[in-house]
Structure 1
């Protein structure tokens, strides 16, 4: 398929994907580091390059409310936010997924206050992890562009909303080469919009429906059970869409990405932009004849339990790198997911959790190497631990 390579920031790449998809409605409210994303897209709207109805709202709660109404009417809709903005819209995230509306949300990952920080970590994403939104993490601008295009089709096939995550400033404002598909290819892939994309749109007056009804105790459980069962179908839908996308892009995106794990005894796991640095650490340790590898979690919700369990089935030790802390005495969110995934493995490796990169702190290759050393010493019994989690970068 025709492509061209353009130097773009992550926000520009996401705006380009939005232009090509040509959403019906975009609800917008500014918050760093997301603000310029919708600014770039507003230029496309002003220039008449899209048909999108861009709705400026008074806050993030209202942004998601506008998306819920538009999606229920049958529109193809999108919004974007970051950090505190995600926190403000959380109530409506549960409403959107419970109503089974195929909304797309871009989360330009940002830390939560206090103290105030406009820089990246994954605390905002962790607020959404139990909301029944499909959640996809992007390592770079290229993945953000591709994930956004795939997310539309995933959402509409699964009838669940999708969050596309990419790290604030690290990805959103850094320039890199992005291979961009041509407009016709993208629009053919996502297909046309219109009210009949969803089974029961509000504007189909021949089949009147109710949205937002009350469910008393005698029915609420069955509603959630149906949501639970259908959310498990996302695995197959994600893979199906990824295979379709491979046919137009030449790139296949699986639930996880493995790097030198085939013979690895010690494996590091991360999400988002830090995976490139983690691979550099693996390369450096491999040069020392150390059997190490790395895994990137791309599909975060629903969590790729089977794939992670298989990838770690022969490991001796695992370093899980969380860019958010749960403050529960157990470990970060990703750590608990990984530990649960391998619980039934015949071989259960030692798993240790490292909190890193909070509030935008840069992670270095040497720090990841130090974490691998720590896990190996723990696994061999050379060192002991009082807790399953430790901060990798905290100054003494």
Structure 2
């Protein structure tokens, strides 16, 4: 065990990134992410962290700067939210498709418009097909541990894909919890210095890093990328087990579950709503409802086989999204869980549940009502109407 510190989610990300010894950090402030890089800037200024800190004029520049440093073989870090993520989209896409490993903290936020700065997951969900690995955390401890694990995953020779460590803006980013901060020596033993060499720029060995690429070669790039995503599902499990042995904390890999073994109805959650969902399951159990919970930790790569296995034999499930799937009138993770169950879809009663947009709360009552509705429809297979948490 390291030292227990009381930290916000953002300052947890600061401490975790510093423990990973980044060579370069570049970021532009945007609510609710700003204090992540403010904390790192303070560490560099005070001599606590030996890293290059680059102050840039926009998020597009931030991703471009870390991209250049990664191409030089360095370990890099940045953080952003919402419109900042949208502004960096061009180099963000290039970062993954050039297979440059890094970790970026994403304090998730609703997207404009109507104008809002409050919590939501629409920003992260909107870029889920840009080739990055995405993990969602529901506690500050998980933020700490997944940034450290994120570098191990991104830099794995069979993966080489950048990682987004996502957590709910304001709910996680600004609220405090006790966090076990590992010792630097422990992190160094778990996470050695980067040694990837597949795209390292060297003046003595010049090459075209991102030339105009003909279709057949681009097809090979994309297939290799997707193959690495599939391999990442295995590596995620391996790293989780290794981390558990080293630090005493394990998260179950790409998916985790709570009281789901004998459940008839299941909540599927993502991010900070998960703890409240567990409370709802406990209350439902006291009422005689055989409820359980499945937590989606990684949505890219999507753990379809694990999801199908965890829901096997259940009667009903609801996927609670903090974002919307435009054009489908339901949540995007509900769409993806359905896709994972495509061959057995009509064996279940199921529906999408949407709440928490623009900082609205997903309450215990919301999730308990969802469990109770699942129990009411569990014997009638098929998809039901989307449930919206329209709290006043």
Secondary structure of 2:88's match?
Answer: helix
Q: Which residues of structure 2 form unaligned runs of 5+?
A: none
> 1:224 Cα deviation (Å)?
1.2
> 1:222 Cα deviation (Å)?
2.1
Matched, 1:171 2:172: yes
**Matched-pair contact (CA < 8 Å) for 1:13–1:178:** yes
- Alignment RMSD: 1.8
> C-alpha separation between the residues in 1 aligned to 2:228 and 2:301?
11
**Matched-pair contact (CA < 8 Å) for 1:153–1:190:** yes
Residue 145 of structure 1 corresponds to which residue in structure 2?
Answer: 144
Secondary structure of 1:197's match?
Answer: coil
> 1:302 Cα deviation (Å)?
0.2
After superposition, give the CA deviation of every residue in 1:121-171 in whole Å (9 maximum; x if it has no partner).
100011221011010110011000000000011000011000000111111
> C-alpha separation between the residues in 2 aligned to 1:138 and 1:83?
17
**Matched-pair contact (CA < 8 Å) for 2:199–2:209:** no
> 1:232 Cα deviation (Å)?
1.1
Give the structure-1-normalised TM-score: 0.94
> 1:300 Cα deviation (Å)?
1.3
Residue 15 of structure 1 corresponds to which residue in structure 2?
Answer: 14
> 1:346 Cα deviation (Å)?
8.4
Q: 1:286 to 1:86 in 2, by over 3 A?
A: same
Secondary structure of 1:352's match?
Answer: strand
**Matched-pair contact (CA < 8 Å) for 2:315–2:379:** no
Residue 299 of structure 1 corresponds to which residue in structure 2?
Answer: 298
Give the structure-2-normalised TM-score: 0.95
Q: 1:213 to 1:388 in 2, by over 3 A?
A: farther
Residue 368 of structure 2 corresponds to which residue in structure 1?
Answer: 369
> C-alpha separation between the residues in 2 aligned to 1:392 and 1:18?
35
Q: Which moved more, 1:224-233 or 1:275-284?
A: 224-233
> 1:330 Cα deviation (Å)?
4.8
Q: 1:118 to 1:330 in 2, by over 3 A?
A: closer
Matched, 1:160 2:157: no
**Matched-pair contact (CA < 8 Å) for 1:74–1:203:** no
> C-alpha separation between the residues in 2 aligned to 1:288 and 1:268?
16
Secondary structure of 1:363's match?
Answer: coil
**Aligned ranges 1:203-242 → 2 under 5 Å:** 203=202, 205=204, 207-242=205-240
Matched, 1:309 2:308: yes
Q: 1:282 to 1:186 in 2, by over 3 A?
A: same
> C-alpha separation between the residues in 1 aligned to 2:82 and 2:148?
23
The size of the alignment, in residue pairs, is 389
**Matched-pair contact (CA < 8 Å) for 1:5–1:180:** yes
> 1:15 Cα deviation (Å)?
0.6
> C-alpha separation between the residues in 2 aligned to 1:198 and 1:332?
40
> 1:18 Cα deviation (Å)?
1.5
Matched, 1:246 2:244: yes
